[in-house]
Homo-oligomer: A and B are copies of this chain.
Amino acid sequence: MIVVIKSDASPEKREQLIKWLKTLGLGVHESDGEFQTVLGLIGDTSKVDMDLIESLDIVDSVKRVSETFKCVNRKFHPKDTVVSVGDVKIGGGNFALIAGPCSVESERQIIEIAKAVKASGANLLRGGAFKPRTSPYDFQGLKGEGLELLKAARQETGLPIVTEIMNLKDLPLFEDIDVLQVGARNMQNFDLLKELGTLKKPILLKRGLANTLKELLMSAEYIMASGNEQVILCERGIRTYSDYLRNTLDLAAVPMLHELSHLPVIVDPSHATGIARMVPPMALAAAACGADGLIIEVHNDPSHALCDGAQSLTPAVFDGLAKKVESVRRVAA
């Protein structure tokens, strides 16, 4: 349910109304616009007396909303959300170029790559410390040690770090991490989402392997309904009957998610295609259709990477790509 507050409503009356709505057991999500304030009511609104609320003098109108998502919905929050990570801004015209290795392997490796991608224009560093692997016999990441190495690379380069959290119980280890990534396999791990909703940190939420856009937005809604508004959506390819490519990159999701939601949307061309040669054209395509960022795997020695080397760019290829991405963004905007 949506309550539109008049622009000249006194702050006191407005607070009073919000307090009262909360006593009804509802969550209240406020969105201030130039000419009006929209309150999104979250929870069971079936017994709320619409007529009563509409009769209040500070209320312009009340609408029952059939939309299943509220906090993430552009209808109730027309302006682009801009997520801030230190000095880096993402969304609303600000572009995130996130790069780094699939897995953190050693201090030398991560620092070398971090310096290289920074020099090419990356503004965030990625690197996996906890790795979800289909097989229990595959390398599962350096875990806590990997997080420490990422921090060392941040120390060295100033780049904020993005890394995946797989499990609630590991949360204390992530206290000093800048952006927490929820991987595709955890997109509907609802307990994890709720807990991340209580943090004051940006969450990078990847679309699940075969999830619809609505399901992706509902998962973002889990995080936002728990109080954390800093969510970045990520398209990373979906499962189809593709023969030559690992997944099918659904780039039309970018403009469609922008229409449905105010949240920033970035693209992961590395996991989507699984093939380094396909990453540059798909990165340019993502930039051309309005993505707010890219997350790209870069490795200084792809043929010896412990994980997903086949899809990693060398620093030199990344450098050429970063320049072209910028040009494409400029002319396509």
Which A residues are within 8 Å of any B CB, using their own CB?
Answer: 42-44, 68-69, 132-137, 166-169, 185-186, 188-192, 194, 208-215, 218, 221-222, 225-226, 238-245, 248-256, 259-260, 272-273, 277-278, 281-282, 284-290, 324, 327-328, 330-332
Q: A132-B190, A239-B241, A277-B259 are in contact. Are A252 and B137 (CB under 8 A)?
A: no
Once bound together, how far apart are the Cα atoms of A68 and B252, in whole Å? Answer: 29
**Which chain B residue has the least Cβ–Cβ distance from A243?**
B212
Once bound together, how far apart are the Cα atoms of A212 and B99, in whole Å? Answer: 30
A128 to chain B, nearest CB (A): 13
**Which chain B residue has the least Cβ–Cβ distance from A168?**
B169
A17 to chain B, nearest CB (A): 21
Some 20 contacts from A to B, beta carbons below 8 A apart, are A137-B225, A167-B191, A167-B192, A185-B189, A185-B190, A186-B189, A240-B248, A240-B250, A248-B248, A249-B252, A251-B251, A252-B273, A252-B282, A281-B290, A285-B285, A285-B288, A288-B332, A324-B331, A324-B332, A331-B331
**Which chain B residue has the least Cβ–Cβ distance from A132?**
B190
Given contacts A133-B190, A213-B244, 8 further A-B contacts (CB under 8 A): A69-B135, A135-B218, A136-B194, A136-B218, A209-B211, A238-B240, A245-B256, A249-B251
